């Protein structure tokens, strides 16, 4: 087994966790083919490593950091079909499922083949003219007003057919993985992470009848900016950004690549939701209800 590592060096436990992984790898003769260091605080828009940093003979990529590091890692190696295990050195850690203190235990389980790989839908956003690079998205693609506090107006088409004109602060197009991120905070639904569909969620729509919509993975959306004061902004996973002007159009479709995330059978999606979103918490008392376990 050949390991790759991406580590966010700004995290307090980064060097200690990396040293622990290195000792484990040496003991079990699992070579670390590449250790790439990033600073997500200094370079939050970091997009990818140079071609060839990771190669297809890497069997597992460890992402040491927070969810931002994990998103970065998955986008980097999705085209190589390398599974990614997130080690949480951050706070929330929705995607980084393994606490830093348990990283070598997780590697032991992988060594015993006590794990699974979840294939998750990714999206891709491109310019219809093909003049700019297409960007993959693990969580979401957001079109939002930039600067002046006025509405931006969009027209959304589905497979060439107009859906509606949306006016408001912006639009989020989220994967099932990203359904628990920005989209959820503005009223979007939670999707099971392995579903093959994606969500369009308006941000503060001018017309309250415009609600989130769920599309099949075969859907291709075209979003045109009809009017905006100043510029609008396109963001991918909260890390990649591009300014867009009035008349700009983008195409959003399912990516040909999938996010391949390592998970363990004893940690369910609903357990993560209860823990991270504090479901079952009684706010006035500040403790959890005793929910029945299966």
The pLDDT profile of the chain, 294 residues, written as one tens digit per residue, is: 999 999 999 888 999 999 999 999 999 999 999 999 988 777 666 656 777 889 999 999 999 999 999 999 999 999 999 999 999 997 778 899 899 999 999 999 999 999 999 999 999 999 988 777 899 999 999 999 887 667 899 999 999 999 999 999 999 999 999 999 999 999 999 999 999 999 999 999 988 888 999 999 999 999 999 998 878 999 999 999 999 989 999 999 999 999 999 999 888 899 888 888 888 776 655 555 555 555
Measured distance CA(35)–CA(97) in Å, rounded: 20
Hey, CA dihedral for 190, 193, 199, 204, is it positive or negative?
Answer: positive
* Inter-CA distances, 181 with 98, 176, 280, Å: 19, 10, 19
b/e sequence 64-79, b meaning 16+ C-beta within 10 Å: bbbbbbbbbbbbbbbe
Residues marked as catalytic: 67
**Domain residue spans of the chain:** 3-114+264-288, 123-256
**What is the structure's pLDDT at 131?**
77
Residues found in the chain: 294
Classify residue 54 by its DSSP letter: S
Q: Tell me how far apart the alpha carbons of residues 236 and 180 are, in angstroms, rounded to a whole number.
A: 15
Which CATH architecture fits 3-114+264-288? Answer: 3-Layer(aba) Sandwich (3.40)
Rounded Cα–Cα distance for residues 283 and 255 (Å): 40
Q: Is the Cβ–Cβ distance between 58 and 74 less than 8 Å?
A: no
Classify 105 as helix, strand or coil.
Answer: helix
Q: Which residues of 177-208 are buried (b: 16+ CB within 10 A; e: fewer)?
A: bbbbbbbbebebeebebeeebbbbbbbebeee
Q: Which CATH number applies to 123-256?
A: 2.60.200.30
Give the bridge partners for 260, in sequence order. 119
* The pLDDT value given to residue 290: 58
> What per-residue confidence (pLDDT) applies to 91?
77
For residue 165, the cross-strand partners are 155
What residues have CB less than 8 Å from 108, skipping those under 6 apart? none
Among candidates 176, 190, 58, which has minimal Cα distance to 118?
176
pTM of the model: 0.91
The angle subtended at Cα 47 by Cα 42 and Cα 50, nearest 5°, is: 105
In contact, 39 and 70? CB cutoff 8 Å: no
């Amino acid at each position: 087994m050949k390991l790759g590592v991406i580590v966010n060096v700004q995290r307090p436990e980064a060097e200690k966790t990396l040293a622990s992984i290195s000792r484990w790898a040496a003991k079990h003769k699992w070579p670390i083919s590449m250790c790439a260091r990033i600073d997500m605080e200094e370079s939050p828009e970091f997009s990818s490593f140079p071609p060839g940093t990771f190669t297809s003979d890497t069997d597992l990529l460890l992402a040491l950091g927070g969810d931002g590091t994990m998103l970065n890692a998955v986008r980097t190696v999705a085209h190589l079909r390398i599974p990614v295990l997130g080690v949480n050195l951050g706070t929330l850690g929705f995607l980084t499922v393994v606490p830093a203190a348990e990283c070598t235990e997780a590697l032991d389980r992988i060594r015993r083949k006590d794990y699974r790989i979840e294939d998750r839908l990714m999206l891709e956003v491109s310019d219809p003219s093909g003049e700019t690079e297409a960007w993959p998205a693990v969580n979401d693609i957001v079109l939002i007003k930039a600067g002046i506090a006025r509405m931006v107006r969009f027209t959304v088409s589905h497979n060439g057919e107009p859906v509606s004109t949306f006016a408001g602060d912006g639009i989020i197009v989220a994967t099932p993985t990203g359904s628990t991120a920005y989209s959820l905070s503005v009223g979007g639904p939670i999707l099971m992470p392995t579903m093959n569909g994606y969500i369009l969620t308006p941000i503060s729509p001018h017309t309250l009848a415009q609600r989130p919509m769920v599309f099949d993975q075969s859907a291709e959306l075209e979003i045109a900016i009809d009017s905006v004061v100043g510029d609008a902004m396109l963001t991918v996973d909260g890390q990649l950004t591009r300014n867009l002007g009035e008349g700009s159009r983008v195409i959003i479709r399912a990516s040909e690549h999938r996010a391949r995330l390592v998970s363990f059978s004893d940690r369910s999606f609903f357990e993560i939701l209860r823990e991270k979103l504090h479901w079952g918490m009684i706010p006035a008392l500040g403790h959890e209800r005793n929910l029945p376990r299966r």
